């Protein structure tokens, strides 16, 4: 099969890491007829594509072992959890037969919770006020002829008409005021007969609104990689991993295999590793694709030279934490009328996610926090049980007692403390183009692959894109040889 017929021997490739980059590499190479073997340090495939379910166990660096006690069917996508429509990840879902469902990345009824304000605000309220006040100010500026250099007489009229709709402001020269309105939402919704509805109040003044600094919560939903519609695999993100592993063949993956040394030789590569039983072994192949995090590769012995070594040391891993909380009751739906989406907060929780599936069922897993950097480091230092207790105490400020009282169990992942991964994703410092470019080319017979070698860091689409490019480079070279 594949491209190696008529007596040509298919090259052997050793792939380091069974994360999404490594799995894509092995999958695509196998299609073309290559002989692949994957060495994976962890006892499971997927890397950061990791779905925590009942019985999932993990021992963190410098910490104890956590065991998930979620009930049947409940899970946390601890790593990737959302896929945008343009992402190549969806093409693999289609090709691999992984069913998908909508992921609610935006919800006007979810909250923006600022500790100084106290009561949570609905996202729609914060947005309505932004549109309203910005429109009011702009209409006034136009009306006072402050923008005559920028606008023709026609533009002026059209802009004022636009702002009337966009901001729901007054539409007369003597009254451009924003006074709130239905877009802000209701405390008591409009209804039958004389029930006109009671709007959320009070409307903050422009000055109060600006002081809250909520603008940053409104930009997310228009980001290229975050705008709705978004998707998730039905049943957990690791359905993608499962499908890849089934196609690649479980027997081609050696788990518990920790790479110790990579040697590039004139006629092939040698990878020395410790297997699951602690035995030293050597894997020989024609090529190697190292699909490991750069900071892990940087402490693996190799003969690829000092330029490669200093390049591998350049990207900086980022601390990231994600907490799954299973509840006995879907109180966010019943009590708050929030069905999926994300609450943003200035509490150290940062993002709180409501599940996008299982609506109206008995239980559900909430993402109790998804945070980065200092917040992730602070929580990561605590024992998992304390992380949960602290997160629940903070969540109570947003949602009230149910956030604590209805809790069944939790599983708190500190990515920077997960062995063999040690970070949520990486950041390239300024002026690291040379290092980036160097690692995007093979070092002899050794290729690198991963989201960290793309302009799509922290996405499976990056890992897949990098793997596909690496496979193309490698294939062009071996069919030429
Ligand atoms: N893809 C991850 C997420 O959606 C991490 C990420 C966040 C990457 C923002 C880029 C930008 O949360």
How many angstroms does the Cα of residue 371 sit away from the middle of ligand 1? 11
Specify the ligand 1 atom closest to the Cα of 425: 5
Q: Which residue owns the Cα nearest ligand 1 atom 7?
A: 458
Q: Which residue owns the Cα nearest ligand 1 atom 5?
A: 458
Residues with CB under 6 A from ligand 1: 82, 458-459
Type and span of the H or E element at 129: helix 123-143
Type and span of the H or E element at 375: helix 373-381
Contact residues for 396 (Cβ-Cβ < 8 A; gap 6+): 403, 404
Beta bridge partners of 277: none
> What is the sign of the dihedral through the CA atoms of 141, 147, 150 and 155?
positive
Q: Does the predicted model carry a pTM greater than 0.90?
A: yes
How many angstroms does the Cα of residue 225 sit away from the middle of ligand 1? 8
How many angstroms does the Cα of residue 19 sit away from the middle of ligand 1? 17
Q: Which residue owns the Cα nearest ligand 1 atom 9?
A: 458
How many angstroms does the Cα of residue 138 sit away from the middle of ligand 1? 33
Cα–Cα distance, 376 to 351 (Å, whole number): 12
Cα–Cα distance, 61 to 412 (Å, whole number): 14
How many angstroms does the Cα of residue 346 sit away from the middle of ligand 1? 18
Q: How many CB atoms lie within 10 A of CB 210?
A: 13
Nearest to 376 by CA among 430, 422, 428: 422
How many angstroms does the Cα of residue 424 sit away from the middle of ligand 1? 10
How many angstroms does the Cα of residue 80 sit away from the middle of ligand 1? 8
Instruction: Measure Cα distances from 95 to 47, 92, 130, 252 in Å.
Output: 21, 5, 42, 21
Q: Which residue owns the Cα nearest ligand 1 atom 11?
A: 458
Q: Which of 320, 373, 425, 458 is the pocket-test mutation for ligand 1 (most atoms within 8 Å of CB)? A: 458
Spell out the per-residue pLDDT of the chain, length 481, in tens. 577 876 778 999 999 999 999 999 999 999 999 999 999 999 999 999 999 999 999 999 998 899 999 999 999 999 999 999 999 999 999 999 999 999 999 999 999 999 989 889 999 999 999 999 999 999 999 999 999 999 999 999 999 999 999 999 998 888 999 999 999 999 999 999 999 999 998 999 999 999 999 988 999 999 999 999 999 999 999 999 999 999 999 999 999 999 999 999 999 999 999 999 999 999 999 999 999 999 999 999 999 999 999 999 999 999 999 999 999 999 999 999 999 999 999 999 999 999 999 999 999 999 999 999 999 999 999 999 999 999 999 999 999 999 999 999 999 999 999 999 999 999 999 999 999 999 999 999 999 999 999 999 999 999 999 999 999 999 999 988 7
Nearest to 414 by CA among 448, 391, 397: 391
Specify the ligand 1 atom closest to the Cα of 459: 1
User: What ipTM score was computed for the predicted complex, to two decimals?
Assistant: 0.97
| Tokens representing residue 394 in the block | 């903070």
Q: Which of 20, 79, 80, 459 is the pocket-test mutation for ligand 1 (most atoms within 8 Å of CB)? A: 459
How many angstroms does the Cα of residue 420 sit away from the middle of ligand 1? 20
Structural contact between residues 177 and 132, judged by C-beta atoms closer than 8 angstroms: no
> What is the sign of the dihedral through the CA atoms of 428, 213, 370 and 80?
negative
Structural contact between residues 234 and 357, judged by C-beta atoms closer than 8 angstroms: yes
Q: Judging by beta carbons within 10 Å of its beta carbon (0-12, 13-18, 19+), is residue 271 exposed, middle or buried? A: buried
Nearest to 137 by CA among 196, 205, 236, 220: 205
């Amino acid at each position: 099969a594949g491209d190696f017929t008529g007596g040509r021997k298919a090259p052997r490739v050793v792939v380091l890491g069974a994360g999404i980059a490594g799995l894509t590499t092995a999958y695509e190479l196998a299609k073309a007829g290559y002989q692949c073997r994957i060495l994976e340090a962890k006892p499971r495939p997927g890397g950061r594509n990791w779905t925590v379910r009942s019985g999932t166990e993990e021992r963190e660096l410098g910490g104890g072992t956590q065991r998930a006690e979620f009930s049947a069917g409940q899970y946390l996508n601890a790593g990737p959890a959302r896929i945008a429509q343009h992402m190549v990840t969806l093409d693999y879902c289609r090709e691999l037969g992984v069913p998908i469902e909508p992921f609610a990345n935006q919800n006007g009824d979810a909250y923006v919770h600022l500790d100084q304000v106290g009561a949570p605000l609905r996202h729609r309220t914060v947005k309505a006020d932004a549109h309203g006040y910005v429109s009011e100010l702009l209409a006034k500026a136009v009306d006072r002829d402050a923008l005559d250099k920028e606008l023709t007489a026609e533009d002026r009229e059209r802009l004022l008409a636009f702002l009337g709709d966009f901001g729901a402001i007054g539409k007369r020269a003597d009254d451009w005021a924003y006074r709130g309105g239905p877009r802000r939402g209701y405390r008591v919704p409009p209804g039958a007969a004389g029930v006109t509805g009671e709007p959320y109040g009070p409307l903050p003044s422009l000055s109060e609104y600006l002081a809250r600094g909520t603008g940053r919560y409104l930009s997310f939903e228009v980001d290229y990689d975050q705008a709705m519609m978004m998707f998730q695999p039905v049943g957990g993100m690791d359905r993608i991993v499962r499908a890849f592993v089934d196609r690649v063949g479980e027997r081609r993956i050696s788990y518990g295999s920790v790479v110790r040394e990579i040697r590039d030789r004139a006629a092939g590569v040698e990878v020395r590793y410790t297997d699951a039983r602690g035995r030293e072994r050597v894997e020989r192949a024609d090529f190697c694709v190292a699909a490991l995090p750069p900071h892990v590769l940087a402490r693996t012995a190799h003969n690829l030279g000092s330029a490669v070594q200093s390049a591998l040391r350049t990207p900086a891993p980022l601390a990231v934490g994600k907490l799954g909380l299973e509840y006995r009751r879907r109180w966010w739906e019943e009590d708050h009328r929030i069905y999926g989406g994300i609450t943003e907060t200035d509490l150290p929780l940062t993002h709180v996610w409501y599940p996008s599936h299982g609506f109206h069922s008995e239980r559900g897993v909430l993402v109790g926090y998804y945070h980065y950097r200092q917040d992730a480091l602070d929580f990561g230092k605590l024992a998992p049980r304390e992380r949960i207790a602290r997160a629940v105490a903070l969540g109570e400020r947003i949602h009230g007692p149910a956030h604590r009282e209805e809790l069944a169990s939790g599983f708190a992942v500190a990515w920077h403390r997960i062995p063999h991964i040690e970070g949520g994703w990486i950041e390239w410092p300024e002026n690291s183009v040379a290092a980036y470019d160097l690692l995007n080319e093979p070092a002899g017979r050794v290729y690198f692959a991963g989201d960290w070698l793309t302009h799509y860091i922290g996405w499976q689409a990056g890992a897949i894109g990098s793997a596909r490019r690496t496979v193309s480079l490698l294939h062009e070279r071996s069919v030429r040889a």
